Chains A and B, each alone.
Chain A
């Protein structure tokens, strides 16, 4: 009855159960944290703005991204994926979301930052609707836990406008 195999099996089952329970508790403990991140997004300059040969508008801009995401970090946080997207609507599309910049924050020490960048991904419209277009800049963050449920949220900043003419 109490052979080696039987004992090894019992030990394995017990340790896996405890491990699963600890993972569940770690994931649930994230709910106790109520983060209050802040961010400022600024368009510093429109570097160039043109219609591509296939008819789609493309714009290149310089951005300043400052944020304090320290409150997102708990003991169960592996990384925070943060990105800035331009959001606008056009006659054809009810929503366009274009990522302009993203970054991975691995520790609380790096979570307060201010960077100056041009758009990392191309800002191209599906069509030619960007002249004089009003758009929102949105800072999104996705919290990846060491284990358990992933969470995400965003801050929307309104009132940005593209130039009326190509340059």
Chain B
């Protein structure tokens, strides 16, 4: 019989009250995850406070599957910071390091150039056609914290949808 039999037995012996309890606790898990996510959005001021690294362009610092915590403060952007930015016409945001900054005296606007630590050249090839610099509105946040490997959960789920189904 083994544990499969045990599972079947336990399913059979389940009563309506237990099923309801499970449904409620599942709802609790989902809502508390949502509360944490939205709370982080408020605290960090970034529209997506946690991102998963998808490429190896920042190795050996960030590997595929690592998680980054973002913060979007009013502080000016400076060289060396790792920023997450959106390029017009690209769906997936990019995590790279700032290597050049030119900040206007009158308006305070910035021209920013980025590069991946593991890439040979700067990012002008990744920007929209003819775009030389990133502006403030392209930047979603800067990376402040780091957690290794945890992002693999989401990578596996998005790339192997069958596992996602199993989980649900």
Chain A residues within 8 Å of B, Cβ to Cβ: 3-5, 23, 27, 78-79, 81, 83, 85, 89, 91-99, 102, 104, 106, 121, 126, 140, 142, 144-150, 152
Q: Which residues of B lie under 8 Å from residue A95 when comparing CB positions?
A: 76, 101-103
Q: Which residues of B lie under 8 Å from residue A144 when comparing CB positions?
A: 61-62, 146
How many pairs of residues, A versus B, come closer than 8 Å at their CB atoms? 90
Contact flag A126-B111 (CB < 8 Å), given A4-B3, A94-B105, A148-B146: yes
Q: Which residues of B lie under 8 Å from residue A146 when comparing CB positions?
A: 148
Q: Which residues of B lie under 8 Å from residue A81 when comparing CB positions?
A: 61, 80, 97, 117
Q: Are B61 and A78 in contact (CB under 8 A)?
A: yes
Q: Are A147 and B147 in contact (CB under 8 A)?
A: yes
Q: How far is the CB of B81 from chain A (nearest CB, A)?
A: 8
The majority secondary structure among interface residues of chain A is: strand
The size of the chain B interface, using a CB distance under 8 A, is 31
Chain B residues within 8 Å of A, Cβ to Cβ: 3, 6-7, 10, 60-62, 76, 78-82, 97, 99-105, 108, 111, 117, 122, 143-148
Q: How far is the CB of A42 from chain B (nearest CB, A)?
A: 20
Partner of A150 from B79, B104, B144 at Cβ < 8 Å: B144
Q: Which residues of A lie under 8 Å from residue B144 when comparing CB positions?
A: 149-150
Partner of B146 from A91, A102, A150 at Cβ < 8 Å: A150
Which residue from chain B places its CB closest to the CB of A145 in the assembled complex?
B146
Q: How far is the CB of B108 from chain A (nearest CB, A)?
A: 8
Which residue from chain A places its CB closest to the CB of B118 in the assembled complex?
A104
Q: How far is the CA of A83 from the CA of B99 in the complex (A)?
A: 9
Q: How far is the CB of B57 from chain A (nearest CB, A)?
A: 13
Contact flag A93-B105 (CB < 8 Å), given A99-B100, A121-B122: yes
Partner of A97 from B3, B78, B108, B145 at Cβ < 8 Å: B78
Q: How far is the CA of A89 from the CA of B146 in the complex (A)?
A: 33
Q: How far is the CB of B63 from chain A (nearest CB, A)?
A: 10
